[in-house]
Amino acid sequence: MSGVRVLVGTRKGAFVLTSDGKREVWDIKGPFFGGWEIYHVKGSPVDRNRIFASQSTGWFGQLIQRSDDGGTTWEPVGNQFQYEGVPGTHQWYDGTPHPWEFARVWHLEPSLNDPDTILAGVEDAGIFSSTDGGENWRELAGLRGHDSGQSWQPGAGGMCLHTIIVDPTDPNRVFVAISAAGVFRTDDGGVTWHPKNRGLVSGSIPDEDAEVGHCVHHLAIHPSRPQVLYMQKHWDVMRTDDAGESWQEVSGNLPTDFGFAIDVHAHEPETVYVVPIKSDSEHFPPDGKLRVYRSRTGGNEWEPLTEGLPQRNCYVNVLRDAMAVDSMDDCGIYFGTTGGQVYASANSGDSWAPIVRDLPAVLSVEVQTLP
């Protein structure tokens, strides 16, 4: 492996950070699309020069950008995200029916096998597919058409489909997470979808163990064990060992089990990372100390990782898509903050250093390990 390329989406543009295998000296390029919100930037695992970016603003709507040279140059591709059929309604914050309205693309998930195929998770919650490199998009409408769809409600950030995980052993099996509906899984390539929320308990909904209605913040998987998923829920860190059929809480000794980001070590399927956030209203680390917590036991037993991270007067947040891992021999961990810092650890989290400190608020961090 020759190095890494970290793809950063922010409130006001995208940045591409590159380094060699030591991950000590960084080249920083950007902003790309300055002034636009970049909710997500992610590269194709098949063709590492192909990168997709979700670009939007409240003024001018949604664009999808594609690079075929590793993020040096970009071209806009298709931006028509039209719901299939009559969109119908979901619940609004006040419980009244509200028409499904496209707002933006939260997450882009390039195929593990085909550089032209990509999934997009959008607000209002839906999933779209492109098989021509992002030029044309088609809704996988079975998800939104699920019997429970009319009951879905937005979370504080909108009713967004923010997480997409494709089973690396079976491209027809896909997990998605929606705030605030929960986890859904398809086993037939997106035709039919089923809620997978058994074991989740959410005190802020009327039926706390309901089949749908949970505010799942993020999911993470290790490619060697597609039956095992980890979840950072609104509150609670959870784990499933049977592909979502049942979930168990693994918050253990975390100082708070609220948070957004969660990820898994590239080479150790039982090593998991979260960034505890104080509460659902106080979106900053407890005690002003920015601490990543690592479990080497698949949850329950957590240790704080603090070396190189600010341990006083730190009140930033780490959003759901703002943590990533590389697959270098010594696994690198990366996360970005709403204060504009992007931190990297080249030793599985033992110590950290900022790659860059003063970007706009970071919305997403992804990393490509370069051959």
Partner 1 sequence: MIRVVLPAHLRTLAGVGLEVELEINGLATQRSLIDALESRLPVLQGTIRDPVSLKRRAFVRFFACEQDLSHESPDAPLPTAVVTGAEPFFVIGAMAGG
Which residues sit at the interface with partner 1, rule CB under 8 A? 35-36, 57-63, 76, 79-80, 82, 102
What's the burial of 310, exposed, middle or buried (CB within 10 Å: 0-12/13-18/19+)? buried
Cα distances (Å, whole numbers) of residue 163 to 43, 109, 252, 301: 15, 9, 24, 25
Q: Cβ 59 to partner 1, closest distance in Å?
A: 4
Q: Cβ 102 to partner 1, closest distance in Å?
A: 8
3, two tokens = 């190095």
Look at residue 312 and give its three-state secondary structure.
Answer: coil
Q: Which is nearer to partner 1, 36 or 247 (CB)?
A: 36
Q: Cβ 101 to partner 1, closest distance in Å?
A: 9
Contact 185, 198 (CB under 8 A): no
Q: Which is nearer to partner 1, 10 or 186 (CB)?
A: 10
Q: Which is nearer to partner 1, 77 or 166 (CB)?
A: 77
Look at residue 198 and give its three-state secondary structure.
Answer: coil
Contact 285, 279 (CB under 8 A): no
Contact 367, 44 (CB under 8 A): no
Look at residue 151 and give its three-state secondary structure.
Answer: helix
Q: Cβ 53 to partner 1, closest distance in Å?
A: 13
Residue 345 CA to residue 358 CA, distance in Å, equals 18
Q: At a CB cut-off of 8 Å and minimum separation 6, what does 103 contact?
A: 122, 123, 124, 158
Q: Which is nearer to partner 1, 60 or 92 (CB)?
A: 60
**Angle at the Cα of 230 (from 227 to 233), degrees rounded to 5?**
135
Q: Which is nearer to partner 1, 79 or 327 (CB)?
A: 79
Q: Cβ 105 to partner 1, closest distance in Å?
A: 12
Q: Which is nearer to partner 1, 59 or 147 (CB)?
A: 59
Q: Which is nearer to partner 1, 140 or 275 (CB)?
A: 140
Q: Which is nearer to partner 1, 32 or 273 (CB)?
A: 32
Residue 154 CA to residue 215 CA, distance in Å, equals 9
Q: Cβ 35 to partner 1, closest distance in Å?
A: 6
At 277, the amino acid letter reads I
Q: Which is nearer to partner 1, 63 or 333 (CB)?
A: 63
Q: At a CB cut-off of 8 Å and minimum separation 6, what does 212 contact?
A: 148, 151, 152, 181, 182, 195, 197
Which residue carries 């698949």 as its tokens?
298
Q: Cβ 81 to partner 1, closest distance in Å?
A: 9
With residue 3 as reference, give the H or E element that holds it.
strand 3-10
Q: Cβ 84 to partner 1, closest distance in Å?
A: 12
Q: Cβ 80 to partner 1, closest distance in Å?
A: 5
Residue 10 CA to residue 19 CA, distance in Å, equals 20
